[in-house]
């Protein structure tokens, strides 16, 4: 081979190596700028007017903004409104909007163009919530609103019917996001799959039930404390594996960056009995946990045909008859706080520290025996309806209560069926969760107001008390926070005395992320905020830090 040919050959080899090297490097950079997570529950819409469940709220939060937002401590912060004033009577809210907040670029605004948000966009967006043709699930957030209007392009005013102290935090809900009228005029009902907002990410691709992709909004208005424009990530990719165990395996293999909550299928592999990350995962995974404004409970429909649940003695026997501390330790691996204080969860300022229903098996037996003597019903029986995810908890309660002389049947049904039959009053006892929509205990107490009876409201127990209703009406007009909290605690005590609910535990937000993820944060309403998230290169050699990767072993165990 001549010298020229030899040199040409080596130049070609070097060029190929350089191309492959650059391609690999670019791929790594792309991977490091895309945040990937799985949503095992399905997303059916990206329209904020229908953001009623957590999976939809998470997605919508990346795409849209409102007047205000909550920080991780649940303090109300400016968003599109840079400031606001509240009248002395607590009924007039005047919002001053930031200038040059842009909607996502779209052909509707002209080729590669956009436009600024003005106050009339908020007027249009809130009117959508009230429009019966839209039938938004978020109409209720405006129940206390008398009227609203754009005074000019930068001033938006809301007038309430009466003072409502939690109103600002209510406005942080994704229902109250701003959307452009042009998008609705063009897309109509298909706006659900063609969202245009102002958020840190903008819509790119949705293959329903398969993959959802958002790209960085390069015109986003927020910057970090160093003046760097948010978001840091280039993209967000969401998959839809319906099985939690499959999601866990994808996470352990490093194919997704983040996982929330725990599931019975993998909790013992991942966590110790006291809720700590097991040693062999510590090199790969970060875990954070904190209070979650979510009360898990059994609800009792007091108008049920099953006569046992009409007895306060039976309802109290259920409350006293099982050990919540043991239940959390062995069935939840220490994740959660035993709910012995009331329905308002730990983490709320009005949380009731007074001890309520602790484990008292003898007292439970006495109550059941008293009921038998009083009614002549020698075999009292109750039925608990649940979905499969909470079957282990209900079976534990079943075993415990049968020691007290109370027979328990368990009816397992799909989540959608459980919701529908609960709303229609066809379940005597149902397993439920109540997650705060906004950080005020009123959110937990209005579901017991007699005006909110299901099916037209969320009072699924049909609890009714004139004393409770009077306290509620007084509380929602009390602007002094400490005084309002005292009223909340009195209402909580009334609910617990009636025993129409059996609180199980106050949940925790638990988040797992890969070691190369930072800035994820955690908050008591479990809102996923990705605008401050960063990703770096992965450094671990194998999944879970095990020499063999750990995956084959895990699959064999399952």
Rounded Cα gap, residues 329 and 157, in angstroms? 50
Q: What is the pLDDT of residues 335-383, one digit of tens each?
A: 999 999 999 998 888 898 887 899 999 999 999 999 999 999 999 999 9
* Amino acid 3: pLDDT: 47
- Grade residue 553 by pLDDT with cuts at 50, 70 and 90: very low
Bridging pattern class, strands 92-97 and 81-86? antiparallel
**pLDDT surpassing 50 at residue 11:** no
Q: Where are the alpha helices (DSSP H) in 192-346?
A: 244-252, 267-270, 312-320, 324-331
* Amino acid 240: pLDDT: 95
Is residue 317 classed as helix, strand or coil in its secondary structure?
A: helix
Q: Identify the structural domains of the chain with CATH numbers, from first to last.
A: 48-191 (3.90.76.10), 291-507 (3.10.105.10)
> Does residue 191 contact residue 134 with C-beta atoms inside 8 Å?
no
| Residue 289, Ramachandran bin (φ over 0: left; ψ between -120 and 50: alpha; else beta) | beta
**pLDDT surpassing 50 at residue 555:** no
**pLDDT surpassing 90 at residue 325:** yes
* Amino acid 4: pLDDT: 52
* Amino acid 546: pLDDT: 42
* Amino acid 274: pLDDT: 85
What string of DSSP letters covers 22-79?
HHHHHHHHHHHTEEEEE-SSPP----GGG--SHHHHHHHHHH---SEEE-TT--EEES
- Grade residue 541 by pLDDT with cuts at 50, 70 and 90: very low
* Amino acid 456: pLDDT: 84
Q: What is the pLDDT of residues 198-217, one digit of tens each?
A: 999 999 999 999 999 999 99
**pLDDT surpassing 80 at residue 538:** no
* Amino acid 31: pLDDT: 64
Q: Residue range 139-152: average pLDDT?
A: 95
Tell which residue, 465, 486, 475, has the closest CA to residue 352: 486
Is residue 505 classed as helix, strand or coil in its secondary structure?
A: strand
257 burial class (0-12, 13-18, 19+ CB within 10 angstroms)? Answer: buried
**pLDDT surpassing 60 at residue 492:** yes
**Overall size of the chain counted in residues:** 558
Q: Residue range 481-506: average pLDDT?
A: 95
Instruction: Between 463 and 8, name the one with better pLDDT.
Output: 463
Q: Comparing 1-5, 41-45, 163-167, 488-492, which segment has the lowest mean pLDDT?
A: 1-5
Bridging pattern class, strands 381-386 and 429-435? parallel
Q: Is the peptide bond before 359 cis (omega within 30 degrees of 0)?
A: no
- Grade residue 1 by pLDDT with cuts at 50, 70 and 90: low
What's phi and psi for 529, nearest 5 deg? Answer: -115, 115
**Tokens (6 digits) for 193:** 């799959």
- Grade residue 554 by pLDDT with cuts at 50, 70 and 90: very low
Rounded Cα gap, residues 246 and 462, in angstroms? 39
**pLDDT surpassing 60 at residue 13:** no
Residues ≥6 apart with Cβ < 8 Å to 202 = 63, 104, 105, 196, 214, 215, 216, 217
Q: Residue range 74-82: average pLDDT?
A: 95
**pLDDT surpassing 50 at residue 254:** yes
Rounded Cα gap, residues 232 and 218, in angstroms? 10
Rounded Cα gap, residues 141 and 167, in angstroms? 9
Is residue 423 classed as helix, strand or coil in its secondary structure?
A: helix
> For a pLDDT cut of 70, what percent of the chain falls above it?
91
**Tokens (6 digits) for 185:** 């005029």
Q: Comparing 81-85, 298-302, 355-359, which segment has the lowest mean pLDDT?
A: 355-359
For the chain, the straight-line distance linking the first and the last C-alpha, in angstroms and rounded, comes to: 60
Instruction: Between 29 and 376, name the one with better pLDDT.
Output: 376
**Tokens (6 digits) for 331:** 């069935």
- Grade residue 41 by pLDDT with cuts at 50, 70 and 90: confident
Mean pLDDT across the chain: 90
> Does residue 259 contact residue 271 with C-beta atoms inside 8 Å?
no
Rounded Cα gap, residues 178 and 508, in angstroms? 31
> Does residue 128 contact residue 248 with C-beta atoms inside 8 Å?
no
């Amino acid at each position: 081979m001549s010298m020229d040919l030899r040199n040409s050959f080596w130049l070609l080899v070097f060029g190929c190596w350089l191309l492959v090297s650059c391609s690999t490097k670019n791929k790594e950079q792309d991977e490091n700028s895309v945040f990937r997570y799985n949503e095992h529950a399905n997303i059916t819409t990206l329209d904020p007017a229908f953001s009623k469940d957590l999976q939809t709220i998470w997605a919508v939060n990346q795409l849209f903004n409102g007047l205000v937002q909550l920080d991780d401590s649940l303090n109300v912060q400016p968003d599109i409104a840079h400031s606001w004033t509240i009248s002395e009577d607590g009924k007039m809210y005047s919002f001053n909007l930031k200038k040059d907040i842009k909607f996502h670029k779209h052909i509707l605004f002209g080729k590669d163009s956009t436009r600024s948000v003005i106050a009339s966009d908020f007027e249009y967006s809130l009117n959508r919530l009230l429009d019966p043709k839209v039938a938004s699930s978020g109409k209720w957030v405006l129940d206390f609103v008398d009227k609203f209007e754009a005074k000019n392009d930068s001033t938006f005013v809301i007038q309430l019917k009466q003072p409502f102290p939690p109103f600002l935090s209510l406005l942080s809900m994704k229902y109250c996001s701003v959307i452009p009228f042009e998008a609705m005029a063009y897309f109509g009902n298909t706006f659900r799959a063609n969202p245009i907002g102002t958020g840190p990410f903008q819509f790119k691709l949705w293959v329903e039930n398969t993959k959802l992709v958002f790209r960085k909004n390069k015109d986003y208005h927020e910057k970090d404390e160093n003046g760097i424009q948010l978001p840091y990530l280039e993209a967000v990719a969401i998959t839809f594996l319906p099985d939690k165990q499959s999601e866990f395996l994808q996470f352990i293999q490093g194919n997704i960056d983040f996982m929330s909550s725990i599931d019975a299928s993998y909790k013992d592999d991942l966590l110790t009995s006291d809720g700590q990350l097991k040693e062999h995962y510590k090199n790969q995974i970060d875990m954070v946990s904190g209070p979650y404004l979510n009360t898990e409970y059994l609800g009792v429909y007091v108008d049920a045909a099953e006569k046992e649940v009409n007895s306060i003695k039976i309802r109290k026997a259920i409350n006293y008859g099982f050990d919540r501390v043991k239940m959390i330790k062995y069935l939840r691996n220490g994740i959660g706080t035993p709910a012995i204080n009331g329905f308002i969860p730990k983490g709320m300022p009005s949380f009731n520290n007074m001890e309520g229903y602790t484990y008292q098996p003898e007292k439970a037996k006495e109550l059941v025996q008293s009921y038998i003597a009083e009614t002549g019903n020698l075999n009292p029986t109750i039925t608990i309806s649940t979905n499969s995810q909470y079957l282990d908890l209900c079976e534990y309660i079943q075993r415990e209560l049968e020691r007290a002389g109370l027979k328990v049947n368990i009816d397992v049904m799909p989540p959608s069926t459980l919701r529908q039959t609960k709303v229609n009053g066809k379940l005597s006892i149902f397993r439920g969760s109540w997650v705060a929509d906004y950080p005020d205990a009123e959110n937990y107490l209005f579901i017991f107001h007699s005006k909110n009876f299901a099916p037209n409201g969320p009072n699924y127990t049909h609890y009714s008390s004139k004393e409770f209703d009077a306290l509620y009406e007084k509380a929602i007009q009390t602007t002094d926070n400490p005084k309002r909290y005292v009223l909340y605690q009195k209402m909580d005590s009334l609910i617990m005395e009636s025993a129409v609910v059996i609180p199980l535990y106050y949940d925790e937000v638990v988040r797992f992320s890969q070691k190369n993820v930072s800035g994820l944060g955690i908050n008591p309403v479990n809102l996923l905020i990705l605008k401050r998230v960063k990703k770096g290169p992965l450094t671990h050699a194998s999944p879970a830090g095990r020499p063999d990767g750990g995956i084959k072993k895990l699959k064999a165990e399952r």
